[in-house]
Amino acid sequence: MTRLGIGWLAVPACVFCLLVFALPLALLLLESLRDGQGWTLDGYRNFLGSAYSWQVTTRTLRLAVLTTLICIIIGYPAAFALARARGVWQALFVAALLLPLSLSVIVKAFGWTVLLRSNGVVNRLLMASGLTDAPMRLIFTETGLLIGIANIFLPFMVLPIFSVIRQIDPRLTDAAATLGAGPIHGFTRVVVPLTMPGVVAGVTLVFSMSIAAYVIPTLLMGDRYQTLSTTIATSFLYLQDPQRGSVAGVVLLVLSLLVVGASVVLARKVRATP
Amino acid sequence: MTRGIGLAVAWFALIGCIVFLLAPLVVTVGVSLSPSPVFQLPQGEISWRWYERLGRLDGLLDSVLLSLQIAAFATAVSLVLGTMAAIAVVRGTFPGRETLATFLVSPLMLPGLVIGIAMLQCFRALGLRDALPSLLIAHVIVVLPFVMRTLTAGLSLFDFSLLDAARTLGLSYPKAVIRVMVPVLAPSFITGGLFGFLASLDNYPISIFLTDVYHRTLPIQLLQYLGESPDPTVAAVSTLIIAMTALLLIVGDRLVGLNRMAGV
């Protein structure tokens, strides 16, 4: 087989993805531009003109930003400890990250509904430690939701950063120290830039997944708390309003594409500046 | 001194991370073993009563079998399509290879619900209204990105001159691929296949638009149980899912090694 011929091997997958994935998305875009009579921008006009839709969109974005922040604040230092762990310990820690990562989202969300209820474990711990006297309302609150979402996506932040740190030569920090850099300076100027590819990968994963999260908000917040995802689902499944659902879908799709696009640019930048 | 503080923070974050991540799992297992009907951790006594009630859950076994069937089909098709495409991307010289690779991995990064409604509308427009074929086709899109990603990574490290060597020794091209390339790439197949399989088993956002009353996948059935009968029987089902996931990871660890799986 010639090298020219090898390109043809991609054809089946390509045709399949075009038909089952790209074509439906293109049709969705058309659907959002149509109503019963013909072509119209009304769907977008209604969506952009409604204060409620803006509220839903900003809420979705805020949720994704906060989740990403929580994940990086906990996940970044944790990845360093994970890279320093040795032998059996490191295997155990990696297993403890991989099991929740591979586990069904619904099972984890169910666990959180049990943990967060007013007579649940979290509240008992809080009261036993004397931090609060009365049970705190956690389930059906944004705090509870953030805890749940961060829990689902945290492994996707830790693992990419970990796999980058693993490859950093520890002698680099020693070299920085020999050249007179203090520990903080050596860390921020030498180590942090080297971990950036992992950070970009982790942030992209966590952000793009949390912006689209559906199961967790429905289970931890209920139907009244609308994000872009729940708007899409309710428009199609209950309200029979495909135009509204399609418009929300296109908005969410565009936001996700922007995230992916930004990550490609960032990843290139990070690789270019060692 | 500062280094010590930094390390302490890192270890504290890691331990916190692990406790945080495992908390919902531990609680689920605990609740399923407690005799109390109100979601409590067992206090002293352990009971299997919620496991004995599993058989009474309507449609549980059907949904498990359906989900396994869909996941197995989607994984098999994805392994074939994904391997071929990955070889083309890694070895080919045609323009736009990077774009092609991104395109084939992109369903993973795009919102599942949007893909779901888009498929629903498209399948309907094309006259495909049956749940099972729709689900089978749709789940290939769920699994394919996992296979593509691990295989392009695996193939870019594969030494293709091994194939030429095998052919010089008299193997035909397909035989050389099966006898030489497949064993070397086995870890990529296993990792991509395993994570893709699990993603298909757990998929809710795409399946929800394509199911009907007779074809309810496990996640859809589970969410329905949670909605209507919130008793610890659901915890028992969840515990079995945790056990199955752990088992699959142990198998993966034996075959590939967890560190390698985590690197993906």
The pLDDT of residue A166: 85
Please write down the HEC assignment for all residues of B26-88.
HHHHHHHCCCCCCCCCCCCCCCCHHHHCHHHCCCHHHHHHHHHHHHHHHHHHHHHHHHHHHHH
The pLDDT of residue B68: 96
| C-alpha–C-alpha distance, residues B224 and A3, integer Å | 52
The pLDDT of residue B111: 94
Contact A82 B14 (CB under 8 A): yes
Residue A2 clears pLDDT 60, i.e. is over it: no
Answer whether residue A7 is part of any domain.
Answer: no
Chain A positions in Cβ-Cβ contact with residue B82 (cut-off 8 Å): 13
| C-alpha–C-alpha distance, residues B89 and B100, integer Å | 8
Q: Which sign, positive or negative, has the C-alpha torsion A233, A239, A240, A243?
A: negative
| C-alpha–C-alpha distance, residues B36 and B30, integer Å | 11
Contact A28 B118 (CB under 8 A): yes
Owning domain of residue A100: 20-272
Residue A131 forms contact with B (CB below 8 Å) = no
Chain A positions in Cβ-Cβ contact with residue B109 (cut-off 8 Å): 204-205, 208, 256, 259-260
Contact A104 B219 (CB under 8 A): yes
Q: What is the CATH number of the domain that holds A49?
A: 1.10.3720.10
A39 forms beta bridges with A34
Contact A102 B114 (CB under 8 A): no
Q: Which of B240, B243, B233 is nearest to B52 (CA)?
A: B233
Nearest CA in chain A to B221: A106
Chain B positions in Cβ-Cβ contact with residue A8 (cut-off 8 Å): 88
Chain B positions in Cβ-Cβ contact with residue A184 (cut-off 8 Å): 2
pLDDT digits (tens, 9 = 90+) for B240-250: 999 999 999 99
Chain A positions in Cβ-Cβ contact with residue B91 (cut-off 8 Å): 3, 6
Answer whether residue A2 is part of any domain.
Answer: no
pLDDT digits (tens, 9 = 90+) for A48-68: 888 889 999 999 999 999 999
The pLDDT of residue B23: 93
Q: Provide the ipTM.
A: 0.89
Residue A115 forms contact with B (CB below 8 Å) = yes
- Tell me what percent of chain B is helix, strand and coil, each rounded to the nearest 5: 75, 0, 25
Residue A273 clears pLDDT 70, i.e. is over it: no
Q: Which ranges of chain B have pLDDT less than 50? A: 264
Q: Binning pLDDT at 50, 70 and 90, where does residue A119 land? A: confident
Residue A27 clears pLDDT 70, i.e. is over it: yes
Nearest CA in chain A to B4: A183
DSSP assigned state of B178: I
Answer whether residue A12 is part of any domain.
Answer: no
Q: List all residues of chain A from 198 to 217 with a beta carbon under 8 Å from chain B.
A: 204-205, 208, 211-212, 214-215
Nearest CA in chain A to B211: A237
pLDDT digits (tens, 9 = 90+) for A170-204: 777 677 777 777 777 777 777 888 889 999 999 99
Contact A14 B21 (CB under 8 A): no
Mean pLDDT of chain A: 87
Answer whether residue A198 is part of any domain.
Answer: yes
Number of domains in chain A: 1
List, in sequence order, the alpha helices (H) in chain A.
3-6, 11-17, 23-32, 42-49, 51-84, 87-102, 105-116, 121-128, 142-165, 171-178, 183-186, 192-211, 215-221, 228-237, 242-272
Residue A140 clears pLDDT 90, i.e. is over it: no
Q: Which of A107, A193, A232 is nearest to B209 (CA)?
A: A232
DSSP assigned state of A188: I
B44 token code pair:
């002293």
**All structural domains of chain B with their residue ranges:** 57-262
Residue A274 clears pLDDT 60, i.e. is over it: no
Contact B31 A114 (CB under 8 A): yes
Please provide residue A41's backbone torsions phi and psi, each rounded to the nearest 5 degrees.
-100, 10
Residue A217 clears pLDDT 80, i.e. is over it: yes
CATH of domain B57-262: 1.10.3720.10
Nearest CA in chain A to B32: A111
